Every structure is written in structure tokens, then in C-alpha cells.
Structure 1
Amino acid sequence: MLPPLKALPVFEAVARLNSFSLAAQELNLSQSAVSHQIRALENHLGESLFQRQGRYLSLTTEGKHYLDAISSSLSQIARASNLIRGESETKVRIAVYSSFAVCWLMPRLPDLMRRHPNLDISITMTHSSPELSDKTADCFITTDKDKRGFTFTPIYRERIFPVCSPAFYEAMKNTLDVHSDTDMANLLEKQPEKLGDFPLVTSFGIYNEYTEDWRRWFSEKGKILPDELQLHKFSHLLLTYEAAKYSLGIALINDYMFNEDKTKDDLIRLPTHHIETDDAFYFAYKYSRRNEPGIAEVKRWLINESAGLGLGE
């Protein structure tokens, strides 16, 4: 038996806003009307959906499960109704892995908005790959590539390479007695282990283990990670970028974080080899939403941008 349908958007609003009064304002109802709808829904289900402790309101376990089950359906009903009325869906929520968001997407957002001024974009940044769910976002830039009902379009296969600040690079050249990029490239081709003579910056975030990034970099040339290393350890790739920028050492970062057009105060890519990580980035969205104009516009723009920069898979 269907629940009281009028109560479902009321329940969703209260759960999302965590407040009866805010939900009442959003829905243009009285607070007592909101309470009545929630009570009718709870009576129908035979379960309490909210836990009230003084002024604090939270979902019960049953309430969380129910919200997960109905929120996608409510969104689909709203989108279908908008399309029937001839209204294009221009609000697009994008969930993005943090370093990709900060270093690659944000600098390019003005171009996206200029090309598609109809879009109303909101961005959620996540420390790890975002949860693929309508309650999180409408579309995603993620390293996940396998979830039922979703479409995954490859946009970038990750590779990492050594970088350092201009000042650090000059100090390296003096220490190694080389006088040009060509000389440095020749030296590092023959003796990549020379980088181990300098402080190295390592990130936990790439392989979920400190120094694994550098171990793989040395291994690419048949070398073993030197025993005696001065290492600076950081949890996230964004922090290794900043550490290198402020001359703490040589860091391994990837294409989307590196921009050769930046000012002399930023980073220099060392003239030596790169390695590919195990990660690829995908633009993901529900297959059932593939024809929504907003998602389609973001997808086209994103693929063109990544292809133009040579980041595509």
C-alpha cells in the first residue's frame, strides 16, 4: 500500500534541513502542518523516522534507510515533471575528488560558465572518491568505475612525475654541478638515484602508504629506494604540492596539478621519467539521467577540456 504521498516531500525536506521549522518555511506550510504530515507517515509505516532530543533532531536508522530509498524517486518525479512543462534542468551538482577540484576544475569553471551561462553549478569536494548517489550529487568526477545503473566516461589516466620549486632546482644544479636542463636530464637518465641525495616529499594519498610513490618511481628504472632518505610525509597530494612549492623538497605530482604556464614562483618539472599510477578518473552519472541537458552540457565540456590538454585515456 502506498504511503500518504503528500507526506513524502515533507519528510525529505525535514530530513535534508534537519529542522521542522526550516522545512515549513521552504514548503510554505505551518510547522503544525509539517508535524501532522510526518506523524501521518510514521503512523502508516509503523516506525519512528526522527529522533528528538530537546532541540536536536536526527533521523532514526529506519528514517535513514527510508530517505535513501525515496529521495532518488522524488528527484526523478520532479525532473520528469519539469521536462513535461518544458523546463530544462539547469541546476547541476558535481561531486569531485578534492585535488582535482582545486587544481584542475576550479581554474576552468569561468570557461564553463561563459560557454553555458544557463547552468547553475554547485560543487562538493570530497577527500576520497565521492559516494555515487543522488543524495550526494547529480554527476561525479571519481576514480570509481563500477556501479550498477551508472555510466562512466574516462577523462584522465593518472601519471606522476618529480617537481620542485625554481629555487630548489637551482640549488640542485649547483650541488650536482650541472648547468642546463639537458645536463640534468642526461644525469638523471643514467643515475635517477641522485634524487635520493635531496629531501623528498611523499604522499599517503596516492597508494595509501608513505614512500610507495617514490619506491615505484625508482623501481621504474630498476633502482631500489635508497635506505638513507630525508622524507617529508603528507597525507594528501595537495599538501605535497604546497610542500614542494615552498622548497621543502622534491615531490611527485600529476598532470592536472601541474601547469607549465604558471609564474616563476611555482613549480618546475624535473627533466626525468614519469610513472603511471593505478588510478583513472571518470565522469559518472546515472544512465537514467543521460538525457538531462545540464549533465549533458557538463559532460561535453569536460571531455573537450581533458582531450585538449592531453589528459584523456
Structure 2
Amino acid sequence: MLPPLKSLPVFEAVARLNSFSLAANELNVSQSAVSHQIRILENHLGENLFHRQGRKLELTIEGKHYLDSISNSLLQIEEATNHIRGQQKTHIRLAVYSSFAVYWLIPRLPELKHLYPNLELSIEMSHGSPDLSDRTADFFITIENEKRGFLFDHIYQEELFPVCSHSYYETIKNKLGTVTNQELTSKLNNDPSLLAQFPLITSYSIYDRHTEDWKRWFGNLNRPLPEGIQFHQFSHLMLAYEAAKHSLGIALVNDYMMSEKHDQTTLVKLPCSAFKTGDNFYTAYKESRKDEEVIKSFRDWLRKEAKTLTTLAI
């Protein structure tokens, strides 16, 4: 038996906005009308879809499952309706890690806008892995690679390597008694622990604890983390990047953070070994939406741009 169809877009709006009043504003109806439709749907299903505690509202387990089940159906109905009316969807919501968005994606958006002037892109930045759901976004860049109903394309194998500002690079050369880049390369390759003479910038966001990034970098070279290092500690990789840019020391950053267009980077890769963190980045989108024109256009553009990543493995 079909549910009361009028209630479904109301339920989706309340669940997406996590608010009866915001849903009422979006739907241009009264809050009481929204509450009425949710009550009708809950009575039909015989389940509570929301926990209500004062002003706090959240989906029940049954509500989450129901939303996952109907969201794509509502999108397909909207797409079919727009197709019949000759209206092509041009808006796409992207969920992406903050550092990837700031340092790799945003510098490339002018080209995307030039290629697809009617495309409207909404970006949701995430510190952790975003929830793969239509209520979160239409398209994802994530380290997740498995969920029923989703398609995944591998775009990047994460590597970290030491960087510093151009001015700090000269400081390192002077302190180590090297004049040319070749001399510095030779010294650091023979003894990577020389970096411990300089302040090292560590971030928390990859391994959930400070100094673990450098510990693994030295471990990749079969060396223990040297003692007596002066560390500058930051919560996120983006902060570590900015600290290095302002000559606070040497940071470990991702390859994609050094992939700005037109060589705009303000940091220098030190002539040292990189190491793989074990994480891989993927694009993800609903399999049922793979033929939507806006999804195909954005996917194809992203694949082409991703070829600039040195460790690409699409």
C-alpha cells in the first residue's frame, strides 16, 4: 500500500533541515501543517520517525532507514518531471574534505564554471568521512569505498611529504652547510634525521594524535623518531600547511595540497622520501543517478582534473 504521498516531501524536508519550522518556510506552509503531515505519515507507518525533546529533533532508527529508502525515489520523480517539462537539473551538492576543497578543488572551479556556466555547485566541507546519503549530498569525495547502491571511482592514493616555505628552505640549506639543491638532496638522503634539527609541524587530523605523522614518516625510512624535536602542534592539516607557509618549520602535507593550478604553491617540497598513509580517495555517487546529466558532467570533469595528481590510480 502506498503511503500518503503528500506527506513524503514534507518528511524529507524536515529530516534534511532537522527542523519543522525551517521545513515549513521552505515548503511555504504553516508549521502546524508540517506537523500534521508528519503525524499522518507516522500513523500510516505505525512508527515514530522523529525523537522530539524540546527544541531538539532527530530521526529515529526507523526514520533514518525510511529516509534512505525514499530519498532517491523522490529525486527520481523530480528528475522525471523536470525532463518532461524540458527543465534540466543544474545544481549539485558536493561533500568533500576541507583540505581537498580549499587547496585542490577551489582553484579549479573557474575552469569548471567556464565549461559548464549553468552548473550550480554547493560545497559541504567535512573534517571526517561524510555520511553517504542523498540527504547529505549528491556527489562525494571520500575515503569510503563500499556502500550498497553507490558507485566509487579511485582518484588518489594519499602520500605525505615534508614541505617548508621558500625562505625557510634557504634557512635549512644554510644551517646544513649546503649551497646547491643537489648538495641538500644528498645530505638529506644520507641522513633524514637532519630534519630533527628544525622545528617540525605536526597535525592531529590524519592519525588522531600529534607527532604520529612524523613518527610514521621516519618509520618508513626504518628510523626511530629522533629525540629532542621541537614540535608545533595543530589540529588540522590545513593549519599545518599555513604554519609552514609562514616559516614556522617543516610540515608533512598531502600531494594534492601542492597541486594548485599554474604553480601557485607557496611551499617547497624538500628532497626527501614521501610515504603512503594507506588511505585512498574516491568519488562516490548513487548508482541509480549515474545517468543524470549533471552527475555525468561533474564526474567526467573531476576525472580529467584528477590526472594532475601524481599518484592517480583511476
Q: Give 1:58's aligned amino acid.
A: L
Is the Cα–Cα contact under 8 Å of residues 204 and 236 in structure 1 kept in the other structure? yes
Identity of aligned residues (%): 59
Matched residue of 2:285: which SS? Answer: strand
Stretch deviating more after TM superposition (97-106 or 44-53): 44-53
Q: Give 1:293's aligned amino acid.
A: E
**Is 1:262 equivalent to 2:264 in the alignment?**
yes
Alpha-carbon separation, structure 2, partners of 1:64 and 1:220? 42
- Please list every run of 5 or more consecutive structure 2 residues that lacks an aligned counterpart in the other structure: none
Stretch deviating more after TM superposition (277-286 or 45-54): 45-54
> For residue 163 of structure 1, what is the aligned residue in structure 2?
163
Alpha-carbon separation, structure 2, partners of 1:209 and 1:32? 48
Aligned residues: 310
Is the Cα–Cα contact under 8 Å of residues 160 and 275 in structure 2 kept in the other structure? yes
Alpha-carbon separation, structure 1, partners of 2:21 and 2:209? 46
Matches for 1:99-248 after TM superposition, within 5 Å: 99-248=99-248
Alpha-carbon separation, structure 1, partners of 2:21 and 2:241? 45
How does the TM-score come out when normalised to structure 2? 0.89
> For residue 57 of structure 2, what is the aligned residue in structure 1?
58
- Structure 1 residues 80 and 179: alpha-carbon distance in aligned structure 2, compared to 1, 3 A threshold: same
- Please list every run of 5 or more consecutive structure 1 residues that lacks an aligned counterpart in the other structure: none
Alpha-carbon separation, structure 1, partners of 2:77 and 2:33? 23
Alpha-carbon separation, structure 2, partners of 1:52 and 1:217? 48
Alpha-carbon distance, 1:94 to partner: 0.6
> For residue 44 of structure 1, what is the aligned residue in structure 2?
44
Alpha-carbon separation, structure 1, partners of 2:52 and 2:272? 60
Is the Cα–Cα contact under 8 Å of residues 154 and 283 in structure 1 kept in the other structure? yes
- Structure 1 residues 51 and 154: alpha-carbon distance in aligned structure 2, compared to 1, 3 A threshold: closer
- Structure 1 residues 217 and 19: alpha-carbon distance in aligned structure 2, compared to 1, 3 A threshold: closer
> For residue 278 of structure 1, what is the aligned residue in structure 2?
278
Alpha-carbon separation, structure 2, partners of 1:29 and 1:212? 53
Q: Give 1:262's aligned amino acid.
A: Q
Matched residue of 2:307: which SS? Answer: helix
Alpha-carbon distance, 1:17 to partner: 3.7
How does the TM-score come out when normalised to structure 1? 0.89
Alpha-carbon separation, structure 1, partners of 2:34 and 2:212? 54
Alpha-carbon distance, 1:88 to partner: 2.3
Stretch deviating more after TM superposition (73-82 or 21-30): 21-30
- Structure 1 residues 59 and 281: alpha-carbon distance in aligned structure 2, compared to 1, 3 A threshold: closer
Root-mean-square deviation (CA, aligned residues, Å) is 2.3
